[in-house]
Amino acid sequence: MVDKAYLKKHLRKREELETTIIRYNALLNKDDISSPAGNTDLFTGGASVSSIVENTVCKKIATEEKIKRLEDELVKQGRAINSILEKLENPYEKLVMQMRYEDRLEWDEIRGELFGGRRDYSENVEKYNDKIFRIHGSALKHMKELQNKDKGEK
């Protein structure tokens, strides 16, 4: 079921993918990845250069596999999330959920996009915060109702 916990896990999975990509890029930029030509028998601190390169290449491959697995999981989760978001009738509920979970905007960014142009925005930021959270809560409630309805029809 796509609920608040599922959506939070989805955001965390995206963060895990981002941090794994950062690690992967660091491994690619690491000097250990390319051994000096013809000098693979050199020793550095008790470890041969070839074993250091081998270790780094193994880490790189494992990280590539993790990135692929995370991307596949995110695609699957994204499909589940999108299928229920498309059923939301209230366009503001759909918009807030898309901005938060698809576009990964922070709450203040969403608030600014939706209400930043209003004359009283600066004086009533907290009021607009509450409004965003009410829309989000309402969307979660409607998503649950839609999913329960879908279960009942099966």
Beta strands in the chain (DSSP E): 43-44, 47-48
Average pLDDT over every residue of 37-45: 49
pLDDT value of residue 44: 53
In tens, the pLDDT along 94-137 reads 999 999 999 999 999 999 999 999 999 999 999 999 999 999 99
Task: Give the per-residue pLDDT at 29.
Answer: 86
pLDDT surpassing 80 at residue 86: yes
Q: pTM of this prediction?
A: 0.78
Average pLDDT over every residue of 38-51 = 56
Using alpha carbons, select from 75, 80, 86, 104 the residue that is nearest to residue 11.
Answer: 104
